[in-house]
Structure 1
Amino acid sequence: MKILMVCLGNICRSPLAEGIMKEKLQERGLDWTVDSAGTGSWHIGEKPDTRSIAVARKYGIDISKQRARQFSYDDLNDFDIILAMDRSNFRNIQNLSTQKAHNEKVHLIMELAQPGNGTDVPDPYWNDDGFEQVYNMLDAACDKIIDQLVATQKSSDVQ
């Protein structure tokens, strides 16, 4: 399983989501690939925002070695599931897509974790206090998504 987390600049939300997901997969002994990207190009090559690094560190996760990169068309082929942090990034990803199979890989992370909820992961860049809220949202979402993906894999193995 290859999972891609996507936000706008790839310095706040998606690096946190990547770090959280990797940690949870390691704890469960799942050998899946997780990466992150941004739909914008402003921060290519930069470390995650220091506030994202700090909140991840608070929970025992090190995301300081991650580097921002821009989402590309190739990601639609390379990943099994692409999780957008909000509707704007979801639309940006879908606008690059040229195939129905690509569109079926793209989901809003909170919609996948809490179907029907319609919640976006807020961008904490302009709100120092928002990083903790974003961490907690993504932490809970990653647990639910892993459970769903494992269940889906098991049911397809049975068939």
Structure 2
Amino acid sequence: MSPSETPQNLKVLVVCLGNICRSPMGEAVLKDIAAKRGLDITVDSCGTAGYHVGEEPDERTVSTCRKHNVPIDSHARQIATSDFVRFTHILASDENNLRHLQSMKPSNATAEVRLWGSYLDDKAIPDPYYGGIGGFEKVYQQCVRLSDAFLDEVAGKKQT
């Protein structure tokens, strides 16, 4: 982490396809874990597609977060080119979304665009939309592990 990039300056955007399952859950989990570590960071989420713009997260995403006492409050939006300058880190949920992000990344982009899984095990976050509640629980657990790995590397402050 560079001296100008203190944890307080971290602005993270979590991205999936429609912004109703993986990315709003990732946003909520990362915010929650950062707060528990005493880190004041900005976290938002969006989708690479505009299928659900303005909608609240999938009810299974909301119920999974509530089950783990993780506050969740977001509305779906689509990625904008300004996001590549507004955020310090853009975390893609899977390779398809990463490719989409890289293809639209403007020349003046300052954000680091990476697969979120690259901070831990290089695994994609599977889309739980067409499955049952068990898939959402697995995504939640993966978001916890990825949030910890991301904050360990970027903020350099491990939870005690």
Which interval holds the TM-score relative to the shorter structure? 0.7 to 0.9
* 1:156 alignment counterpart: none
Q: What do residues 138-157 of structure 1 show as CA deviations (whole Å, max 9, x unaligned)? A: 111101110111229xxxxx
* 1:92 alignment counterpart: 100
What is the percent sequence identity of the aligned residues?
40
* 2:124 alignment counterpart: 120
Confirm or deny: 8 A CA contact 2:81 2:106 kept in the other structure.
Answer: no
Which runs of 5 or more structure 2 residues have no equivalent in the other structure? 1-9
Residue 25 of structure 1 and its aligned partner are, at CA, apart by 1.1
1:134 to 126, 139, 157: 139
* 2:62 alignment counterpart: 53
Length, aligned pairs only: 147
Cα distance in 2 between the residues matched to 1:42 and 1:51? 18
TM-score computed with the length of structure 1 as normaliser? 0.88
Query: What root-mean-square deviation, in Å, do the aligned CA atoms of Structure 1 and Structure 2 show?
Result: 1.5
Answer yes or no: is 1:10 the counterpart of 2:19.
yes
Which runs of 5 or more structure 1 residues have no equivalent in the other structure? 153-159
Confirm or deny: 8 A CA contact 1:113 1:142 kept in the other structure.
Answer: no
2:117 to 110, 114, 126: 110
TM-score computed with the length of structure 2 as normaliser? 0.87
**1:22-37 alignment, distance < 5 Å:** 22-37=31-46
Cα distance in 2 between the residues matched to 1:96 and 1:83? 14
Q: Which segments of structure 1 move beyond 2 Å, counting only runs of 4 or more?
A: 98-102
